Structure 1
Amino acid sequence: MDKNSKAISYMQENKLEEAAKLFEEIITEHPEDPVGYINFGNLLQHVQEYDRAITFYEKAIKLDENAATAYYGLGGIYYERSMAEKAQKSFQKAIDLGLNEADVFYMLGMTFQKQSQYKLSLPYLQRASELDEDDEEILFQYGLSLAQVDEINMAKAVFHQVIDLNDQHSDAHYNLGVIALYQEEPEVSLNHFNAALAAQPDHLLAVNGKKKVEEFLEKYDG
């Protein structure tokens, strides 16, 4: 196992000091190789030393302007700092440079969500869901964006996909409850609100939704 692989293995094992020492050695031995800077940036980002991480990512980009993963790292930091527009540009750059992974498309979609540009988020969240069909969080966020642009039936289908992956996903059940209520299916709505509360008893939105449906059904039955 070479030094880089060993350092990454240390990171995965949460042996961060050992990983940092190896990455420093790699950079010293290969100062013109952007990979060492990117990996050290990843480590610094992991421990939330964002300013230092940015310095390493920018050094990597200076050495290789096509370093897609450095742009991805920068995007992650900007996103964590609620700088959605800067994050958006960084993730887009990473994709333009050939990064074709679910995470980068998901994060780009989320930057548009953060800016309430739900329609713009859709193609990226959809692509992310295609690249990783078993990621329930990607699917859930895709469903939310669909619901925000009134693609209710498509959102409903996606939320059901989430439930198929994890029948304890309280937020997916809640949103299916809202959709069922919107589509005048109060009994179905109540079932989903109950499922949401079974999975998460303190889900306040589901508590309120259930109360409203029960009041409606009581009035209707009366």
Structure 2
Amino acid sequence: MNNIQQGIEYMKEQKFEEAGKAFTEAIEEEPNDPVGYINFGNLLLHLNEFDRAKAFFDKAIELDENATTAYYGLGNTFYEQDDFVKAKEHFETAIQKGLENSDVYFMLGMSLLQQEQPRFALPYLQRASELKPDDVDALFQYGLALAQSEQINLAMEIMEKVLKLESEHSDAHYNLGVGYLFRSDIEQALKHFDEALRIQPDHLLAANGKGKIEEILKDQSE
């Protein structure tokens, strides 16, 4: 096991000081290899040392302008600092330079959602869920973006898929409740709001949705 692999193992074990030493040794052994800098950047990002993380990712790109995971690391660094415009730019660059995995598409989609651009986020979140079909978060955010883009029927189909993967997903139940309310299917809407509240009793949006339905039923009975 080389220093990079050892450092990654230390990170998994949350032995961050040891990980830092291993990555430092990797950089000292091969100062012109961007991989050591990228991994040290990831460690610093994990520790919320954003400026230092950027410096290591920038050094990796200086050594190799096609170091895709360095651009991805920079994207994550800006995302964690709520700079979603710069995050988007770096995730796009990572993809343009050949990075093809679920995470980068998911983060690009999330950067666009954070900028309230759900229609632009859709293809990236869809691609993320295609590349990792069992990723509940990617699938749920794709469904959410569909709902925000007023594609209600397709959004509901996606939320059903989320529940097949994770039956106790309170937010998926809530969003299905909203979808059925949109269709004026009060019985199904109430069922899903109740499920959301059973799973998460403090789900305020589901409680609000249930309250609205109870008002409708009360008005109908009078």
TM-score by length of 2: 0.98
Whether 1:186 aligns to 2:196 is: no
Rounded to whole Å, the distance in 1 between the matches of 2:111 and 2:161 is: 23
Whether 1:200 aligns to 2:200 is: yes
Residue-by-residue CA offset, 1:144-196 (whole Å, 9 max, x unaligned): 11011111110000011111111111111111101101101000000000000
Report the equivalent of 2:22: 22
SS of equivalent to 1:51 = helix
Question: Greater CA deviation, 61-70 or 207-216?
Answer: 207-216
**Correspondence 1:29-68 to 2 at 5 A:** 29-68=29-68
Q: CA deviation at 1:216?
A: 1.1
Q: CA deviation at 1:219?
A: 2.4
Whether 1:155 aligns to 2:151 is: no
Q: CA deviation at 1:28?
A: 1.0
The letter for the 1-side match of 2:4 is N
Q: CA deviation at 1:141?
A: 0.6
Structure 1 runs of 4+ aligned residues shifted over 3 Å read none
Rounded to whole Å, the distance in 2 between the matches of 1:3 and 1:77 is: 24
Whether 1:9 aligns to 2:12 is: no
Residue-by-residue CA offset, 1:10-67 (whole Å, 9 max, x unaligned): 1111111111011111111111110000000011111111110000000000000000
Rounded to whole Å, the distance in 1 between the matches of 2:95 and 2:187 is: 44
Rounded to whole Å, the distance in 2 between the matches of 1:4 and 1:60 is: 15
Report the equivalent of 2:176: 176
Rounded to whole Å, the distance in 1 between the matches of 2:75 and 2:218 is: 50
Q: CA deviation at 1:6?
A: 1.1
TM-score by length of 1: 0.98
Whether 1:109 aligns to 2:109 is: yes
- Structure 2 residue runs of 5 or longer lacking an equivalent are none
Rounded to whole Å, the distance in 1 between the matches of 2:184 and 2:92 is: 40
Rounded to whole Å, the distance in 1 between the matches of 2:74 and 2:160 is: 34
Report the equivalent of 1:97: 97
Question: Greater CA deviation, 197-206 or 1-10?
Answer: 1-10
The letter for the 1-side match of 2:157 is A
RMSD: 0.8
SS of equivalent to 1:99 = coil
